[in-house]
Structure 1
Amino acid sequence: MKQVRSRIWIEQEGEVFLGYGRVILLKKVAETRSISAAAKAIGMSYKKAWNLINTMNTSSSQPLVITNTGGKDGGGTAVTDYGHKMIEEFETLNKACEAFLNEKFNTLKEVKS
């Protein structure tokens, strides 16, 4: 069965705020509690991952990720409640977009066959 796939992203003032790759990064940060480990897990450099997170945080009204420097218990990174909400809302939007596109695709006759 043929299906339409699409990539969407959210921009702010012409710059990407949130998209598929950034959501994957946020989910890995939530899982690993580390920017370095998350970047490694998805095959991205630490510098790029840090830059993406920094861009999301500075473009947002609230931070999506917070970092804690080392100490007795070591450092760590956490996705904030707001960050989790952004992940959830982006995934909802992405699913709705794909559902809409597939609904429209199913009305076509020539492309479907």
Structure 2
Amino acid sequence: MKTPAIPQPAIRVRPRIYIGTDISVGPGKIDLLRRIDETRSIAAAARSLEIPYKRAWMLLDALNQAFGRPLVQTSSGGKGGGGATLTPLGQQLVICYAALEERLNADSTAELEALRSLATCP
């Protein structure tokens, strides 16, 4: 599955979502899932985000623990090589987050422009 790409305007909202007391999902975890989907590798995803491999694993473990089931399916290396893919749950999380991010940015254009104008004031 190819995850939806989010346009990168000069100013935008990147939400952090809290579901109850045990689940938090924000740009870092979502970006990691998107990169895993693109590269089919946790190591390659971590490198592209310039985070340590161990940090990537810790983020994935936190997501798996919070949701109670895996968001990424891994396979061991070997002759054909290993790899990683998003599970249906991981795919749905990225899709839902992308839709929310898109809506928040579309619905807050005036406020974002006001904030941008503050940054360009003399």
TM-score (norm 1): 0.78
Choose the corresponding residue for 2:35, options 5, 28, 39.
28
Partner residue in 1 for 2:62: 55
Partner residue in 2 for 1:88: 95
1:54-108 deviations in Å (ceiling 9; x for gaps): 11111114321111223443321111122111111101101111222224x38x7
* Greater C-alpha radius of gyration: 1
- Alignment length, in residue pairs? 107
1:44 is paired with a residue whose SS is coil
Choose the corresponding residue for 2:12, options 5, 8, 13.
5
TM-score (norm 2): 0.73
2:108 is paired with a residue whose SS is helix
1:7 is paired with a residue whose SS is coil
Alpha-carbon RMSD: 2.5
1:24-80 deviations in Å (ceiling 9; x for gaps): 111111111111111001111101111001111111143211112234433211111
Q: Percent identity?
A: 33
Distance in structure 2 (CA, Å) of the matches to 1:7 and 1:70: 34
Unaligned stretches of 5+ residues in structure 1: none
Instruction: Check conservation: 2:73, 2:86, Cα contact below 8 A.
Output: yes
